[in-house]
Chains A and B, each alone.
Chain A
Amino acid sequence: MAKRTRSAALLPPVRRNDRPLFFVVAIIVALACMSGVAARAAWSASSAWTSDLSGAMTVEVRPRAGDDPSELARRAAEAVARTPGVAAATAMTRAEQEDLLAPWFGAEGLPADVPLPGVVDVRLERLAPATADEIAAALAAAGLDARVDDHGRWTRDLKRAAVAVRALAFGALLMLAGAAVAVTGFATRASLAARADVVEVLHLVGARDEFIAKAFTGRFIGLGVRAGILGAFLAALAAAGFWAVSGGLAPVEDNFLPRFSFAPADVIILASAPLVSAFVAAMTARETVLKELRRTY
C-alpha cells in the first residue's frame, strides 16, 4: 500500500490539464530570459564602445596647397601631446590610413595622387581628460588649421541605441509578464471549474476563501518553479548557441562589434527566473481563485 502523507491533498490532481500551462509558462520564461540577457549584452557592449570612444579623439589637419600632410600631422601630434590631459598623440602614416580605408577602396589601396588629410589619433588621460576645445586651442596656437572630432556624435548615438534596447527589453518583459498572468489566470479558472464540486464542498463545510486559494497556490508554485527551470535552461541554450555562432572561443580579433559573451548578471537573470515565475504563477492563481470565490454566496 502506498505511503500516506499526513494530510492528503484536498484537490484532486489533474496533471493532464496542467501540462499545456506548464509549457506555455516555460516558453514565456525562456523569452523573458532571452530578452533580459540580450538587454544586458547590448548594455555592456554599448558601454564598452562608448568608453573606447570617449577616451579618444581624432584630429584632422587640413593641408594647404604644397604642404605634406604627414609632416603636418607630425607637428599637430607634437602640439597635442603637450596639452595637459592628453596621454598620447600619434600621427597616422599614409600607410595606416590606407589600411583603415581598405574595406572601402579595396586591397590595391588608393591611387597615389588622392590627397589624404593628416590624421592624429589622440588618447586622453582617464582622470582629467582634455576637452576638444583645449586641443583645438593648442592646434590653433601652433598655427595649424585642424578639426577636432571628440566622437561625441557616435557616443551619443550609441548611448541612445543602448537606452532604446533596454527600453525594448523592459517592454518585452512587461508584455511577457502580462502574458504569464493572463495564461495563468485562464488556467486557474479552468482548474477551478474542473474542481468546482470539491471547491463547493470545502466552502460549505466552512473553509475560508484563503484556505481554498492556498490549495491552488501550492500547486501553481510547483508548476512555476518547474516551468521556470525549463525556461531558464532553454534561454541558456539559446544564448550559448548565439555565443558559439558569433565566434565563441575563437581567438579574439580586433572586430568592430564586440563579441557577445556571458556575464555574471546573466547567471542572476537565469537563476531568478524560476523564483519569479513561481511567484507570478502563485500570486495570479491566488488572486484569481479569491476573485472567483467572492462571486459565490
Chain B
Amino acid sequence: MVRLENVGLRYGRGPEILRDLTLKLEPGSFHFLTGPSGAGKTSLLRLLYLAHPPTRGLISLFGEDVTGAARRRKVDLRRKVGVVFQEFRLLDHVDVFENVSLPLRVAGRERWEYEEDVRELLTWVGLGERSHALPPTLSGGEKQRVAIARAVVGKPDILLADEPTGNVDPEMGRRLMRLFTELNRLGATVLIATHDPDLIRAVNAPALRLDDGQVTRLGKAAR
C-alpha cells in the first residue's frame, strides 16, 4: 500500500533529513509516527502526500511508483490520500462548510451529492453550529477539527495526519481519533504523526520512531 525504498531527502544544499529510509505499511494498517521535533516527520508525510519529490529512492502508493508518475496521475493519487496538515492550511476566505467540502468540490462532485454528509460530519466534530464561520474567527481547536473533517470527508484510502490532536482537550482528542479508527476499520491505511503518548496508548497501535533520518518499529508494547 505504502512503500519507501532507500528514500533520501534534503532541502536544497542542507543536510539529509531522511537517509536511506525503507518502510512498508500494509493495506489497512494503523501506525503512529513519533520522534523528536525536527526529526523529519512532517517531511516524510509530505513525501507521501506528494507535496515534494524525494531527493532519491523510490516511493510507491497502491503498488504504483509515484516518483515517476505523470502529473495527471499524481492528482488521481492525491485524491485517494486524506491529509491533516500540522498547520491546518484552511482557506481563510471561505466558511467552514466550504473548507470541509473542498476535496469533494475540486474532484468535481456536486454540492447536492455531499451536502448532507458534510453537515453530519460537522456535527460529529462539534462544529454543526459553526458551519458558516470563517476560519480566522475559529479557535485553534476548532480549526484543527475543520482540518480533520476535510481530511476524512472523501473517505480516503490513505489517511495521513500531522499532530492532529495537539490543540484539543483530551476528550475531544479521543472523539477525533474515533474518526481515524473508524476510517481504518473501513479499510484505510492510517499514519499519524504525534508526540502524544496518551494518544498512542489510547489507540494501542504500533508506532514508528523517526530519528536521525531512519525509522525503527517500536511495536505496540515498546514505548
CA distance A12 to B93 in the complex (A): 6
Looking at the assembled complex, report how far the CB atom of B32 sits from the nearest CB atom of chain A, in whole angstroms: 22
B111 touches A6 (CB 8 A): yes
Q: Main SS of the interface on chain A?
A: loop
Q: Is the beta-carbon distance between B71 and A206 smaller than 8 angstroms?
A: no
Place the interface of chain B in its size category.
Answer: 20 to 34
B91 lies within 8 A of A10 (CB): yes
B72 within 8 Å of A (CB atoms): yes
Contact among B53, B90, B132 with A297 in the assembled complex (CB-CB below 8 Å):
B53
A53 partner residues in chain B, CB cutoff 8 A: none
Is there an interface contact between A7 and B105, defined as CB atoms closer than 8 Å? Answer: yes
A161 within 8 A of B: no
**A12 x B92 contact (CB < 8 A):** yes
The reply to whether B105 and A208 contact each other, CB–CB distance below 8 Å, is no
Report A120-152 residues with CB < 8 Å from chain B CB.
none
Chain A residues near B72 (CB-CB < 8 A)? 208
Residues 197-236 of A, flagged 1 when their CB comes within 8 A of B and 0 if not, give 1101110111111010000000000000000000000000
**Looking at the complex, which one of B78, B94, B111 makes contact with A10 (CB distance below 8 Å)?**
B94
B89, A197: Cβ atoms closer than 8 Å: yes
Which residues of A have CB within 8 Å of B93? 8-9, 12-13, 198
Decide: A205 near B106, CB < 8 A? Known: A6-B111, A8-B98, A297-B52: yes
CB pair B150 A205 closer than 8 Å: yes
Contacts of A201 in B (CB 8 A): 89-91, 102
Inter-chain contacts of B92 with A (CB < 8 A)? 12
Determine the chain B residues whose CB is within 8 A of the CB of A211 once the complex forms.
106
* A-side interface size class: 20 to 34
Query: Are the CB atoms of B83 and A204 closer together than 8 Å?
Result: yes
Q: Per-position contact with A for B70-81: 1 when CB-CB < 8 Å, else 0?
A: 011011001100
- Is B180 part of the contact surface with A, judged by Cβ < 8 Å? no
Query: Which residues of A pack against B, CB within 8 Å?
Result: 1, 4, 6-10, 12-13, 197-198, 200-202, 204-209, 211, 294, 297
Q: What are 6 A-B residue pairs whose CB atoms fall within 8 Å in the complex?
A: A10-B94, A12-B93, A204-B51, A206-B75, A206-B78, A297-B52
Mark B residues whose CB is within 8 Å of A.
49-53, 71-72, 74-75, 78-79, 83, 89-95, 98, 102-103, 105-107, 111, 132, 150
- Contacts A12-B91, A12-B92, A297-B50 aside, 4 further interface pairs with beta carbons under 8 A come to A7-B98, A201-B90, A204-B49, A297-B53
